[in-house]
Structure 1
Amino acid sequence: MKVTEHEIPYGTGSLAVRDYGGQGPAVVLVHAPGFCAVAWDRVAEALGGQVRAVSLDLPGHGASTAPMRHAADAWESILTVTDALALTRPLLVSLGQGSHAALVATMVRPDGFAGVVTLGGACVRTEENTEDEISFYTSPEFAELLEQRFFFGVRGQTRREACQLIDHIVVRLAKDWRVIGFRGLRDELMYSIRPHPEGGWVNLPLPETILTMISFDPGDRFYPAENLYRRVSVPVLIVQLADGLDREHARRERDLAIENDLVTVRSLDAGEYPHYTRHHEVAAIILETCGVTARPAVAS
């Protein structure tokens, strides 16, 4: 698979985009906080060139030099990439909390997108639940966890130190139920090791980048709670993950689908990160949603 890399001006820096080429409907792949564009490589390969697929590094992630200044940078960067590459009404495919940015992008520009596929309905929370989660995710304790468990923001001076850090992370994650079976972890981790302005390297994103992306005040018009799904004006497919952290909200997701004809739900026998462990199934869902292939009929 040939990948073309783009640098698109944004804010005080640029957005990095991986362009997988292909013919047919456009698809923009949106990662969750803490991930990067490379996370979608296996899904893109499984798409087999049947759609025009691209993935982007959100601000402050991967090879993007533009910082995450406020939460709106997440969805505004999607709009910027769509415009810069002249993509016609792309389908947005998002993972976890990246789903919020995808949903809001379609609200800001209702006629600009064909729809959204969310892997895990991360915004399906009551406002009270969301407020509690934001309080935790924006706490000093969580910021410390991001550095100590995932090594976000960790710095070093030599390539050897970077490789040692990657080895350490790979060993720690090898038994993580969310990534078991994924063979591209090392490449993705190395991709996020970037030069630091003061010298040496840093493992991106910084903890503060993630905190900025998920920080919202109650009353924000795009507050990341279930009411967003009641306001969508494009088709939204919520892919429920059998072992995902959102499975406790499965019933609420189904209720939203009953309330809004634009929202549909389907299940996938996968863990929290299906783009790693079920990339062929994820690709099949994308192709079906784009109308490139038909969903297999269910025997009665």
Structure 2
Amino acid sequence: MIGDRIGPAVHDHAGEGPPLLLLHGAGRTLADWAAVAPLLVPYHRVVAVDLRGHGHSPSGPWHLSEVLKDIEEVLAAHGIPDALPVGHSLGGMLAVRYALEHPDVTPGAVNLDGFGWGRPDQYVGLEPDRVAQRLAQFRELSAVGQGRELPPEGLRGLLAEERAISEQLGIPYELLEAGVLRSVREREDGILELRPGRKEALQMCAVIDSLDLFALFRRMTAPLLLGRARRQVPSAPGLDWFDHMMAAYAKGLARDLAALAEERPNVTVAHVDATHAMLLENPRAVAEEILAFTS
């Protein structure tokens, strides 16, 4: 409980030392940190949280101010208001926003591959207007899958999809299974829902699209670690243009991150040998980058 309401679900990994708050990505859960957190615990107090509408946390309007308030209340409830926010993907974006809003107590921020879809001009060699069209198309496709519902037997098929991902990316299956099971909620009619629900997911996507991330990075004066995946996630069938676009975006993002680090001495850019699923693929490399930064 937080105050008079049920607060976000938390996993307190314990540990001693400067506190860290671990934030997951969109549509994921705190289970994503299961292999990273134990590597941090010898050096830090480590707490992971399910963002609102995700995992075991309550639902609620997905407004940025409310999500940041959730984070503040979790830290206060655990007596660690000075925790360093460490986020992956969406969680990384939130870590930066939270640090900017609490500069007196927050020592910095870690953003691991939380760069969204970027700006059309960041897609090197491609026409910005064409990129904008493709991104709109991809957002429409993504919206269709938000708040996915499954019949009672659908969980078996969903776990089979995770098994295929495990084999493709070399991720231990049990890590993927734990994330799915934490995200599934059964309704009274027996239908399974994947969290977050459609309404919350669409609000969340709107929040992501509203963020000018490089403007936020430039506002940071405290230490900021920006982690970037070295490898691309393989494209989905039927999206032949996706790999080409993402390769162009990777070039633009690398260019802009290098320029940012050159002009801002508080910014550290790290490259992790993994795809965007770095927490699951290469937890040791992720932990090493975090520990090098916090040391």
Q: If the length of structure 1 is used for normalisation, what is the TM-score?
A: 0.78
Query: Aligned in 2, Cα 1:203/1:214: closer, same or farther, shift over 3 Å?
Result: closer
Query: Aligned in 2, Cα 1:224/1:80: closer, same or farther, shift over 3 Å?
Result: farther
Q: Give the deviation of 1:107 after TM superposition.
A: 1.2
Cα deviations across residues 179-223 of structure 1 (Å, max 9, x unaligned)? x233311122111112436665422122332321231499x6xx3
Cα deviations across residues 19-78 of structure 1 (Å, max 9, x unaligned)? 100010101111110110111011012224321111111111000013243233333322
The reply to whether residue 73 of structure 1 matches residue 66 of structure 2 is yes
Q: Which amino acid aligns with 1:102?
A: A
Determine if contact 2:14/2:41 at 8 Å carries over to the other structure: no
Query: Aligned in 2, Cα 1:165/1:124: closer, same or farther, shift over 3 Å?
Result: closer
**Which of the residues 98, 101, 115 maps onto 1:105?**
98
**Which of the residues 142, 148, 164 maps onto 1:153?**
148
DSSP-derived class of the 1:14 partner: coil
Determine if contact 1:75/1:102 at 8 Å carries over to the other structure: no
Q: Which amino acid aligns with 2:194?
A: N
| Residue equivalent to 1:23 | 16
The reply to whether residue 224 of structure 1 matches residue 212 of structure 2 is yes
| Residue equivalent to 2:159 | 167
The reply to whether residue 241 of structure 1 matches residue 229 of structure 2 is yes
Q: Distance in 1 between matches of 2:159 and 2:289?
A: 33
Q: Distance in 2 between matches of 1:132 and 1:279?
A: 33
Q: Root-mean-square deviation (CA), in Å?
A: 3.1
Gaps of at least 5 residues in structure 1 are 1-6, 292-300
**Which of the residues 254, 258, 271 maps onto 2:262?**
258
Q: Distance in 2 between matches of 1:286 and 1:139?
A: 31
Determine if contact 1:21/1:53 at 8 Å carries over to the other structure: yes
Q: Which has the higher helix share?
A: 2
DSSP-derived class of the 2:199 partner: helix
Superposed, 1:1-300 pairs within 5 Å as 7-8=1-2, 13-122=6-115, 125-126=118-119, 132=132, 136=136, 140-144=140-144, 146-147=145-146, 152-156=147-151, 158=152, 161=153, 163-177=155-169, 180-183=170-173, 184-196=175-187, 200-216=191-207, 223-244=211-232, 247-248=250-251, 249-291=253-295
Cα deviations across residues 261-298 of structure 1 (Å, max 9, x unaligned)? 2211122222211111111121122222222xxxxxxx
Gaps of at least 5 residues in structure 2 are 124-130, 233-245
Q: Distance in 1 between matches of 2:96 and 2:17?
A: 22
Query: Aligned in 2, Cα 1:110/1:26: closer, same or farther, shift over 3 Å?
Result: same
Q: Distance in 2 between matches of 1:59 and 1:197?
A: 21
Query: Aligned in 2, Cα 1:275/1:141: closer, same or farther, shift over 3 Å?
Result: closer
Determine if contact 2:91/2:114 at 8 Å carries over to the other structure: no
Q: How many residues were matched structurally?
A: 271
